[in-house]
A = this chain, B = another copy of it.
């Protein structure tokens, strides 16, 4: 409360707290009174309290997220990507992520055609990746840039994944795409710019596919966990967090990968977390160092873009690793994982 608040105003705030089902606790000092309110999560409206007369500041102590929080699920969650039979009738292997299981997701930025996709997929599988990524709808800052091939590209992804025994992960951009994509993909990727596209979160929350949720460029770890909560609250428990860098003043690299978010999220939440060094770096020279740092900080894996001819890539070529660089990096990533008590899954297990 503000200094010198009259007793009636203090009583009014106390009564409001009671009305909302919580218990007010007063601490009266020389200059001001602090009112504590303890109760069930979500029953108190801090904004309402803040607008009452005499209230200087409302400080929430309880965490706003519930299903995503360690308080409600103490142990690490181990999610699975894939499993069951694919649209084309092929059994899809199941890949674990979380706890001691680290995952390597890799592939091209955008799926350009079936040949390039198959070629890259073989390269990344041989290097140790177990989940295939590839963009079919591309979120581009400019309306004049290449926007992706849509459904045909999804078919190529599914066919390639089935052939190589790799579950597939594809970005979804619009609620209207969810129904169709659900038939094809094993894991929905939510891009950074859609982290607070709440309708989209709810739609993928209604499916039972894994959801790779990238952190927004201006989102705090708490905002990010609240977005995970949108998915979880619809009944879909397979959320994988993905740190991919935040906007800061530093201009010598595209985004600042926030390594500190990894131990912070691990303390607040039981969800697995992978990192995307490719989009943070924006330049292949820096991808390796960032990937290693992320694993050392405790991540449960990486999602990395690879291309055998980056100078011809239709999208984000400068950040794509060459297949041989990616292979060498996987070796180091495994060595780092061993230091932090994790192990990269060698290949998807067939459970269908």
Binds B, one of A206-214, A251-259, A344-352: A251-259
Q: Lowest 9 CB-CB distances: which A-B pairs, in order?
A: A29-B38, A25-B27, A218-B218, A27-B36, A296-B296, A193-B196, A293-B297, A263-B289, A292-B296
- Residue A339 contacts which of B37, B140, B292, B312 (CB distance < 8 angstroms)? B292
How far is B312's CA from A57's CA once the two chains are assembled, in angstroms?
17
Can you sample 18 A-B contacts with CB below 8 Å?
A: A23-B27, A23-B29, A27-B37, A48-B313, A64-B144, A141-B223, A174-B175, A174-B200, A216-B218, A218-B218, A221-B250, A246-B256, A248-B249, A253-B260, A256-B260, A259-B290, A259-B293, A296-B296
How far is B315's CA from A198's CA once the two chains are assembled, in angstroms?
17
- Residue A52 contacts which of B61, B298, B311 (CB distance < 8 angstroms)? B311
- Residue A34 contacts which of B38, B40, B298, B340 (CB distance < 8 angstroms)? B38
Residues of B within 8 A of A196 (CB): 139, 141, 193
In contact, B175 and A226 (Cβ under 8 angstroms): no
Binds B, one of A127-135, A155-163, A280-288: A280-288
Question: Given A38-B34, A61-B34, A260-B281, A48–B317 Cβ distance below 8 Å?
Answer: yes
- Residue A71 contacts which of B3, B268, B281 (CB distance < 8 angstroms)? B3
Residues of B within 8 A of A259 (CB): 257, 259, 289-290, 293
In contact, B221 and A198 (Cβ under 8 angstroms): no
A327 at the interface (CB under 8 A from B): no
A91 at the interface (CB under 8 A from B): no
Chain A residues 215 to 268 lying within 8 A of chain B, measured CB to CB, are: 216-218, 220-223, 226, 229-230, 233, 245-253, 256-264, 267-268
In contact, A294 and B293 (Cβ under 8 angstroms): yes
Most buried by B among A202, A296, A316: A296
